[in-house]
Amino acid sequence: MFKEIIQPRFNETDALGHINNTVLTQWFEGARDPIFKLFTPDLNTKQWRLILASISVQFKAELFYGLPVELRTGVSMVGNSSFEIHQEAWQQGRCCALGKAVLVQYDFDAKQKLLLSHEQKVSLNAHLISAS
C-alpha cells in the first residue's frame, strides 16, 4: 500500500469548519500517482493510457484543517483491461474517508479499451490489498 502524508490547506475548509467533501477526490487523485507511474513512469500525458471509469467516496468522519492526513492507496481488483483502486484518508488514528476508483487502460487514438499485459497485471497485483 502506498502512503502519503498531506497537510490540509486553509482554503480546503468550508463554512462548517472541516475539510470540504469535494477536496477528497482531489487528494485521492494526487495519491494515485504511484499507480499512474506503473503505466507512464515519467507521467508524460502525451503517453497516457488510463481513463477514470468511476469514482466514489464514502465519508466516515470529519477531517480538519491544521492536522496531517495520511492517504493510503492500494489495488483492490485487477481485471482484463481495468482495475480498482482502494483509498483511505486517515487523521488522528481514524479512517475518515474511503475512496474507490476504477481505471481502464485506454487507446486514445483508437477510442477503445486495451487489455492489461501480463507484466502490468503483475505490477498491479504487487499492490493488491483487501478493501474490507
- Residue 33 belongs to a domain: yes
Closest to 71 (Cα-Cα) out of 85, 90, 55: 90
Q: Which residues contact 60 (CB under 8 A, 6 or more apart)?
A: 94, 95, 96, 97, 98
- Residue 50 belongs to a domain: yes
Confidence of residue 102 (pLDDT cuts 50, 70, 90): very high
State the total domains in the chain: 1
Radius of gyration of the chain (CA): 16
Report pLDDT digits (tens) over 3-53: 999 999 999 998 888 899 999 999 999 999 999 999 999 999 999 999 999
**Domain containing residue 95:** 2-125
CATH code of the domain covering residue 113: 3.10.129.10
Report pLDDT digits (tens) over 54-76: 999 999 999 999 999 999 999 99
- Residue 130 belongs to a domain: no
pTM of the model as a whole = 0.91
In terms of phi and psi (left: phi > 0; alpha: psi -120 to 50; beta: otherwise), the region of 97 is beta
Quick one: pLDDT at residue 16?
Answer: 83
